[in-house]
Chains A and B, each alone.
Chain A
């Protein structure tokens, strides 16, 4: 028996039937088998009969192999792809509400947002709301910088989406 390899973060893309219950089969599989889900996003595709799901998980090579096989075994799953096996792009969207009552706060938010190519999408009496997109790590960094000086009131993150670069693709 070979030793287990170390755990790595994986981004898995799944095309599945756009049917009620399909999502709970995926989620249930993870809880039943003790795999962890870091994030999960799902929406119908341009073909309304399909949903596309991006799931971020982590595990050793052996565990990821089992996860892929078990996902494939679900009758509602049409196709899937471990994006880690391809050059790929990962994006997540985040909305952040910051307290702007502190002196210099408005400038600070604008400055940091510029650097991270984020946009202010709502201006309130005491708050700004900023929209940022990027990789998981970039958004973490953005939050860290912004939260360094200002009070962050609320954060909403979409969870990661991913797509392979070049001609590799996940479709029917």
Chain B
């Protein structure tokens, strides 16, 4: 059957099982939009208010479902507006396929109207990208894009489609499968290395499981929980790994890293065996790399060989998919008919329980001003710990990570690697669209929310009942905290003179707005908002102005050198 490029585009999406795409139209993609108009029954197109929002929404969709998010934007400014989101997805290994319109082929290189070299611009922040130069290659290119984005270490793939190609016709056929000779991710962990890892685990006296986003991306939460119970070892999660292991489980010692718990960071520091699983030894985690885990042997499971021994020398490298490797580890223990002897780690647990007594996340909610931590704790209670929680970037993000105890994977959706303010609200839209019946909260700050606030319009258009939890301290709080600690309280540009009235702003968009100023009103307001199942509620919590996130590992310090309250 002969189809136009635009029709082929739509057929390919259908063949990939794509039900939702996020986008914004413009000249270069008008044929595609015309084809989408005719396919509206099969593909739900969400019109955002800014292309950055489209990409974050697709990320939210992808992070909450482990399926690739799909974006469509026009050439030139449409494409450049998408770049921040693409870079964000790249850093956090989010599977995305981003389609950009391009000027017609004869005009490429001509400084044509709305022309940018988006393939060149995006090259350093995509897993791969393509410029389609022949309509007969469109379908295979799209097949490759989905395949690359969603296999191995996931990531964003960009496909740039010149306008004339969307108009040309050719015979359509969608390949059932695809092989790329230069791309064959290793999925199965090496048996010998797995045995070596088990040998070390059986001997360890002070072991630590350190797990990250790879567990979530691999769908390995269940396998991780089984293995961790079997081993009886303490476990910590990175910011990206939260929910990969139940936070309410006694073996969980909290998040590690710059704002991790006293017990997690100390346990890492004193460990004799660090078992890193789908985590990449980010500098927010390791602190000063020279001082990192001085006594430990390191086992590292990661699907990306380039993650292994990048920052920290690894003793037992295991390249493979987390889930498969964990299942193989359990099988190896079964085969040998052993588990680590709890006596090996009895002293270690005693030490960890000592550290726990520091109660490093302690705060006092008095009746003067609302503590952000208190709001998050109440949110956890009110939602039964079962909401999808998206976050922006700043102090509120850290408090969300510390105080919303995630028991399940794919429920904590935030921007870790790039740390993109403005991520939260559009990401929450994507999550809400993927999970229409579930509670989706967006924890944000008065700075971050203003970076993508225009998406309140999108939420209205599609009736997305996101619950916005604004922890309004009147500061760019995270910046102010650094200035308080390290710049003698010179608060350069961390304060905004003019904040809008968020309640009225929400109302102007047709949503419900609430301002909560008293600690005593927090819980009631949350319950009231959650009861409004079909409405977006913007809850502006006026919180303590100069609150700080503790503990904190200052830049350059070792992991065990934390600032406590």
Residues of A within 8 A of B (CB): 1-2, 16-17, 20-21, 24-25, 28, 32, 62, 65-66, 69-70, 72-73, 75-78, 172
Interchain residue pairs with CB less than 8 A apart (28): A1-B290, A1-B294, A1-B312, A1-B313, A20-B131, A21-B119, A24-B123, A25-B123, A28-B123, A28-B124, A32-B124, A62-B309, A65-B309, A66-B306, A66-B310, A69-B305, A69-B306, A70-B306, A72-B305, A72-B306, A73-B305, A75-B128, A75-B148, A75-B182, A75-B183, A77-B182, A78-B181, A78-B182
A78 to B184, CA, bound (A): 10
- B310: chain A residues at CB < 8 Å are 66
B531 at interface (Cβ–Cβ under 8 A)?
A: no
B residues 108-130 touching A (CB-CB < 8 Å): 119-120, 123-124, 127-129
Contact A24 B124 (CB under 8 A): no
Docked Cα-Cα span, A1 to B120, in Å, equals 37
Excluding A2-B313, A28-B123, A73-B306, 6 further A-B contacts by CB distance (< 8 Å) are A1-B292, A1-B312, A17-B182, A72-B305, A75-B128, A77-B182
Provide the residues of chain A in CB contact with B180, threshold 8 Å: 75
Contacts of A25 in B (CB 8 A): 123
Min CB distance B269 to A, Å, is 13
- Write the chain A residue with the least CB distance to B181: A78
Q: Which residues of A contact B124 (CB under 8 A)?
A: 28, 32
Contact mask for chain B residues 270-310; partner A; CB cutoff 8 A; 1 contact, 0 none: 00000000000000000001101010000000001110011
Closest chain A residue to B308, Cβ basis: A69
Evaluate contact between A76 and B182: CB separation under 8 angstroms: yes
* Alpha-carbon gap, A16 to B148, bound state (A): 17
CA distance A172 to B181 in the complex (A): 9
Cβ of A1: which chain B residues have Cβ within 8 Å of it? 289-290, 292, 294, 312-313
Q: A66 to B290: give the CA distance in the assembly, Å.
A: 19
A81 to chain B, nearest CB (A): 14
CA distance A65 to B306 in the complex (A): 9
Task: Give B residues with C-beta under 8 Å from A.
Answer: 119-120, 123-124, 127-129, 131, 148, 180-183, 289-290, 292, 294, 304-306, 309-310, 312-313
A-chain residues with CB within 8 Å of residue B131 when the two chains form the complex: 20-21
Shortest Cβ distance from A77 into B: residue: B182
B181: which A residues are within 8 A, CB to CB? 78, 172
Q: Whole-angstrom distance between the alpha carbons of A80 and B110 in the complex?
A: 36
Question: Distance in Å from the Cβ of A4 to the closest Cβ of chain B?
Answer: 10
Q: Which residues of B contact A66 (CB under 8 A)?
A: 306, 310
Q: Give the distance in Å from the alpha carbon of A21 to the alpha carbon of B148 in the complex.
A: 17
The minimal Cβ–Cβ distance linking A11 to chain B, given in whole angstroms, is: 21
Complex Cα–Cα for A62 and B314 (A): 12
Could you say which residues of chain A place their CB within 8 Å of the CB of B313?
Answer: 1-2
In whole Å, how far is A52's beta carbon from the nearest beta carbon of chain B? 14
Q: Which of B119, B148, B183 has the most CB of A within 10 A?
A: B183
A28, A73, A76 interface centre (most CB from chain B within 10 Å): A73
Q: Which residues of B contact A28 (CB under 8 A)?
A: 123-124
Interchain nearest-CB distance for B282 vs A (Å) = 16
Nearest neighbor of A78 in chain B, beta-carbon distance: B182
Shortest Cβ gap from B142 to chain A (Å): 15
Q: Which residues of A lie under 8 Å from residue B128 when comparing CB positions? A: 75
* Chain B residues in 8 Å Cβ range of A21: 119, 123, 129, 131
* B129 cross-chain contacts in A, Cβ below 8 A: 21
Looking across the interface, which residue of chain A has its beta carbon closest to that of B148? A75
Question: Which residues of chain B have C-beta atoms less than 8 A from A2's C-beta?
Answer: 313
**How distant is the Cα of A72 from the Cα of B184 in the complex, in angstroms?**
10
Contacts of A172 in B (CB 8 A): 181
Residues of chain B contacted by A16 (CB below 8 angstroms): 182
CB closest residue in chain B, given A172: B181
* Least Cβ–Cβ distance between A136 and chain B, in angstroms: 28
A73, B294: Cα distance in complex, Å: 30
CB distance from A109 to the nearest CB of B (A): 44
Question: Are B292 and A73 closer than 8 Å at their CB atoms?
Answer: no
User: CB-CB < 8 A to B148: which residues of A?
Assistant: 75
B186 smallest CB distance to A (angstroms): 11
Residue on A nearest B292 in the bound complex, by CB: A1
* The one of A24, A69, A70 that contacts B120, using a Cβ cutoff of 8 Å: A24
User: Please, how many angstroms separate the alpha-carbon atoms of A1 and B313 in the complex?
Assistant: 7
CA distance A20 to B148 in the complex (A): 19
Contact residues in A for B309 (Cβ distance below 8 Å): 62, 65
Beta-carbon nearest neighbor of B153 in chain A: A73
Cα separation A51 to B119 with both chains bound (whole Å): 21
Q: Kindly list chain B residues whose C-beta atoms are within 8 Å of the C-beta of A17.
A: 182
Considering the chains assembled together, what is the distance between the CA atoms of A25 and B148 in angstroms? 16
Report how far A24 CA is from B120 CA in the complex, Å.
9
Q: Return chain B residues, CB-CB under 8 Å to A32.
A: 124
B123 touches A73 (CB 8 A): no
Q: How far is the CA of A17 from the CA of B182 in the complex (A)?
A: 8
Bound-state Cα–Cα, A17 to B144, Å: 15
Which residues on the B side are within 8 Å of A70 (C-beta)?
Answer: 306
Q: Nearest Cβ distance between residue B318 and chain A, in whole angstroms?
A: 15
A65: which B residues are within 8 A, CB to CB? 309
Report yes or no: A73 in contact with B182, Cβ–Cβ below 8 A: no
Q: Which 3 A-B pairs have the closest CB atoms?
A: A69-B306, A78-B182, A75-B128
Q: What distance in Å separates the Cβ of B179 from its nearest Cβ neighbour in chain A?
A: 13
Q: Shortest distance in angstroms between A74's beta carbon and chain B's nearest beta carbon?
A: 8
Q: Which residues of B contact A78 (CB under 8 A)?
A: 181-182
> Chain A: which residue is nearest B306 at the CB level?
A69
Q: How far is the CA of A28 from the CA of B125 in the complex (A)?
A: 11
- Contact partner of A73 (CB less than 8 A), chosen from B119, B289, B290, B304, is B304
Residues from chain B with Cβ under 8 Å of A75 in the complex: 127-128, 148, 180, 182-183
Closest CB in chain B relative to A92 CB, distance in Å:
27
A20: B residues at CB distance < 8 A: 131
Measured between alpha carbons, how far is A18 from B119 in the docked complex, in Å?
17
Nearest-neighbor residue (CB-CB) of B185 within chain A:
A73
CA gap between A157 and B11 in the complex, in Å: 51
Query: Which residues of A sit under 8 angstroms from B183, Cβ to Cβ?
Result: 75
Cα distance, A21 to B158, chains bound together (Å): 14
In the bound complex, residues from chain B placing their C-beta under 8 Å from that of A24 are 120, 123
Interchain CA distance A78-B179 in the complex, whole Å: 13
CB distance from A111 to the nearest CB of B (A): 49
Q: How far is the CA of A17 from the CA of B289 in the complex (A)?
A: 37
A-side contacts of B119, CB under 8 Å: 21
User: Nearest Cβ in chain B — how far from A72, in angstroms?
Assistant: 7
Bound CA–CA A21/B312 (angstroms) = 32
Best-buried of B119, B289, B305 by chain A (most CB within 10 Å): B305
* Residue in B closest to A2 when the chains form the complex, CB atoms: B313
- Tell which of B289, B290, B294, B309 has the most Cβ of chain A within 10 Å: B309
* Closest chain B residue to A33, Cβ basis: B124
